[in-house]
Homo-oligomer: A and B are copies of this chain.
Amino acid sequence: MTIRLSTEDTDFEARFSAFLATKRETSQEVDAAVREIIARVREAGDAAVAEYTRRFDRFDPAQTGLRVERAEIEAAYEAVEADTLAALRLARERIEAHHRRQMPESRRYRDALGVELGWRWTPLAAVGLYVPGGLASYPSSVLMNAVPARVAGVERLAMAVPAPQGRLNPLVLVAADLAGVTEILRIGGAQAIAALAYGTQTIAPVDKIVGPGNAYVAAAKRQVFGQVGIDMIAGPSEVLVVADGDNDPDWIAADLLAQAEHDTAAQSILMTDDAAFADAVTAAVERQLKTLSRGEIAAASWRDFGAVILLRDLDEAPPLIDRIAPEHLELATQEAESLLERTRNAGAVFLGRHTPEVIGDYVGGSNHVLPTARSARFSSGLSVLDFLKRMSVLRLGPDELRVLGPAAVALAQAEGLEAHGRSVSIRLNL
């Protein structure tokens, strides 16, 4: 049953804490299987990848080719409807324009002592992008992962996508091409992650792997972490809608259901100061559920993980928002800006009554790869920074070394690191 809490309840704190502690992920025990797949791919390379592909995706990459050819991409363009293609192009343009503004600047400066300090941002050389097959094969996610990488300056962007029985979603191919993916590999699962991380005879290794996947892919990413970088392991999606009573209940219900239809483990939360409005929204949810093609999924999500939190006053919202730390936060209130000012934990914030979260999923320009499961307390959505790294730069001349050197020698001595001290003192004739 959808949970209903009120800050007026005497046991609110206990119930809210219990609500926060609810686990939505069922972690499958796949570590051992994945460990074997990775070991086999490291050992046998392409042959192992081909074998797993025959077994899991039921086709022979030796016949179709491991790599998607240009002609297949051209054919995919033909297969996509004109308005969908136009929408993909618009999305790509907006994502690119926004992410260009995120580019950080390299910097060098000289401090008061004359010491030169600074940093230099450089792009990762090669990135692997995993795209799930089947239902969760979303072209929008291809854009969201690939465009920032290319904006950052990543030269090689290798996409791996499982092709059940050899077939690929044309929309995914088109999105990859629009986004500047430089090679598309018709492979999936832990074997694809292993191939990208360690390389094979025909696949060059990458420096980082991003993108969502099933339990096997997630476990493989965790296991290759260190050999390559990885992005966050994404959990089920969630939205927190903070709404006053002046909203149309049907609009807010639609927003809650847009999240719920993703997955039975998705979570939709309504927070409001108006009990009658909360009733109207829940009634609208029930009504809309009846006509949804993914109604069963959405109904299960709303029933098992949905929640309505009643506040005495919207001023109670910010500390509760921060504890929930939602992936998506809609502030559909009159004082959205003032609430935003007092909030610090959320992946992405959608302000006002005309910014449904779905705009951010597709064409807002901001990224839809966001921290889930309360990790917005300590992490951020995907950005160009995930495809850049920073070298720090230091330069002293003899004069600066004379000024700073003795303090370094003193600290080296205090830490018992004699050779550290000598590397400075030898230059000072100490």
Q: Does A377 contact B (CB under 8 A)?
A: yes
Query: Which residues of B have CB within 8 Å of A68?
Result: none
Q: Give the residues in chain B near A140, CB-CB below 8 Å.
A: 411, 415
Say whether A312 faces chain B, with CB atoms less than 8 Å apart.
no
Asked if B426 and A254 sit within 8 Å, CB to CB, the answer is: yes
Residues of B within 8 A of A407 (CB): 86-87, 90-91, 362-363
Identify the interface centre among A370, A383, A427: most chain B CB within 10 Å of its CB. Answer: A427
A178 within 8 A of B: no
Question: Quick one: CB contact mask for A32-49 with B, threshold 8 Å, 1 for yes?
Answer: 000000000000000000
Copies of this chain present:
2
Q: Which residues of B contact A361 (CB under 8 A)?
A: 408, 411-412, 420
Residues A91-140 near B (CB distance < 8 A): 91, 94, 97-98, 101-102, 104, 107, 109, 111, 115-117, 119-120, 122-125, 135, 138-140
Whether A381 contacts B392 by the Cβ 8 Å rule is yes
A392 touches which of B81, B348, B405 (Cβ 8 Å): B348
Stretch of A8-16, A180-188, A351-359 with 4 or more beta carbons under 8 angstroms from chain B: A351-359
* Chain B residue contacts of A415, Cβ below 8 A: 138-140, 171
Distance of A111 Cα from B376 Cα, bound (Å): 26
Interface secondary structure of A, over-half rule: mixed
Q: List 25 A-B contacts (CB under 8 A).
A: A86-B407, A90-B407, A91-B411, A123-B344, A125-B344, A139-B415, A140-B415, A229-B375, A288-B422, A298-B419, A329-B391, A336-B395, A345-B389, A348-B394, A354-B427, A355-B395, A359-B405, A361-B408, A361-B412, A363-B408, A366-B392, A376-B391, A377-B389, A379-B389, A380-B389
Seen from chain A, the residues whose Cβ lies within 8 Å of a Cβ on chain B are 81, 83-84, 86-88, 90-91, 94, 97-98, 101-102, 104, 107, 109, 111, 115-117, 119-120, 122-125, 135, 138-140, 171, 207-208, 226, 228-229, 233, 250-251, 254-255, 257-258, 260-262, 288, 292-294, 298, 322, 329, 336, 340, 343-352, 354-367, 370-371, 373, 375-381, 383, 385, 389-398, 400-401, 404-408, 410-424, 426-427
